[in-house]
Amino acid sequence: MPSLFSVAPVLPVLFALLVGVVVVGGFVLAQRQRERVETTYQQVCRDQGLVPTDVPLGTSDAWLAQFELLPRGDRDHSAVWGMEGPVELQIGGAAVPATCAAFEWWWEDEHTSRTSRGGQRTTWRRRSVLVALVRLPAPYVMPRVRVESEGVFARLGVGGRGDFQVESEEFNRRYDVRVNDRPATIRLFDPEFQSQLLGRFEGTTFELAGDLALVAIPTPSGGLAMTNARRGGSGGWTQVFTRSGDRLRTDPAIVQALPGVRHRAVALLQAMPDGWWRGLAHDASTQERS
Amino acid sequence: MTALYVVVGLLVLVGVGGIVSYNRFMAQRAGVESSWAGVDVQLQRRHDLIPNLVETVRGYAAHEREVLDRVTATRAAAVIADRDPGTGPGEQARREDALTSATRGLLAVAEGYPDLQAATGFRQLQAQLVETEDRIAAARRLYNIEVRGLNRRVEAVPSNIVAGLAGIRRAEYFELAESAHGSRQAGSSHL
């Protein structure tokens, strides 16, 4: 029977081995996940005839963050898995060539709470939306319009001041619309387009500004995923591992969903009334003449 | 003493509520007036456009005097109503409808003249007319949305009490039957 003295040195070695296996295993799994997503990304781009890009339509992360539908978060934000290519829009009774990009926009929100030992615990949550960004050619220059789902209080009739109102009560309850040019925007929200936003495009959030149209759709997981936690003992702050801009956190299903978001953006633009497009083209030609 | 504080507190609350409600009425009334000004600008734009249209058609179809005169007369009636501050949106709408009907008659006549249809000036005028009709429709919808907001508060409790005391009345909707290029003016079905 071996004595305790001969067993004792083996335990730390076994423990170290176990830790090593876990670390290496984790690294290998992460690497495989990375490869899986990367492969899916390349394949989706190839199948759809799209060009992979880190800068959708040549826009930087800072520039994209000017869209109010794309939150900056408390720590970091970025566009990932960008893919772009030409599209032909049937708008105002004519075929209009445009460019459309799709990507995942993620950001990290900070949440702070107290621990049982009196310390502070901070967690960052990675949230994301799937985005399609369409650049229209001249002469289509749009006023600023932001459309998103109405908040709970506004639905109950509390607050919601400054919300652009249309004829449909149901539309007003469901959507919060912010605009900078009311006469121009009323042409967009004709009764037909209002009913489309309540039916076929229900829950779609979009933002128009200049020659760009942005459509944002929450990620399939609801746009929420815990990325990392910080533990604090006695009020201290301890950073736990997380690399900002980690592409690994994306599921391959999100990458596969991006072409669908592109199609949705195109369909939404094509559903906009002819009068809206006519007005934009006319305003541009009037400005040109003056 | 406590009862007195409660009564005074309630009176203050009612007073503040009344002031807030009154100020909101004033803002709504300003909104109705400014959106009516938007309608007015577009109507004037149409009134300015029609003489050019009449003259262009006359150049190719001078013998269609009856149709041309009808457009001129209905336009004059619409312009007079527009310049008269006493004319309400209902009366203005009736005169604009008459003008619309006459303009549609003119455009129908014009279809029988291929040379006129091919003339660049006429095509440009037609395009401008379509654009103006779009603008009128948009301005009218904005105005009616403002009117609906005001009218709802004039009728609802308790803001109707403030409206009654301040003499604020319901505003009149501006409804048009059809546009000159033939489509129905959309947007009134929800009102």
pLDDT tens, residue by residue, B30-85: 999 999 999 999 999 999 999 999 999 988 888 888 889 999 999 999 999 888 88
Place of tokens 């403002």: B146
Instruction: Show Cβ contacts of residue B168 under 8 Å, excluding neighbours closer than 6 positions.
Output: B25, B29, B150, B154, B162
Q: What is the dihedral of CA A275, A281, A285, A287, to 10 degrees?
A: 90
Query: How far is the C-alpha of B171 from the C-alpha of B33, rounded, in Å?
Result: 10
Put simply, the answer to whether B149 touches A278 (Cβ < 8 Å) is: no
Interface of A with B in 175-204 (CB under 8 A): 182-184, 186-187, 190-192
Query: Which residues of chain B have a CB within 8 Å of the CB of A190?
Result: 186-187
Interface test with B, best of A181, A186, A276, A287 (most B CBs within 10 A): A186
pLDDT of residue B83: 87
Segment holding A110, helix H or strand E: strand A94-114
Please classify residue B97 by burial: count the beta carbons closer than 10 Å to its beta carbon, then call 0-12 exposed, 13-18 middle and 19+ buried.
middle
ipTM: 0.72
Put simply, the answer to whether A187 touches B138 (Cβ < 8 Å) is: yes
Residue B181 has pLDDT above 80, yes or no: no
Regarding pTM above 0.80, the answer is no
Inter-residue contact A79 to A112 (CB < 8 Å): no
pLDDT digits (tens, 9 = 90+) for B8-40: 999 999 999 999 999 999 999 999 999 999 999
pLDDT digits (tens, 9 = 90+) for B114-132: 888 888 889 999 888 888 9
Inter-residue contact A80 to A106 (CB < 8 Å): yes
Query: Which residues of chain B have a CB within 8 Å of the CB of A187?
Result: 134, 138
Put simply, the answer to whether A279 touches B187 (Cβ < 8 Å) is: no
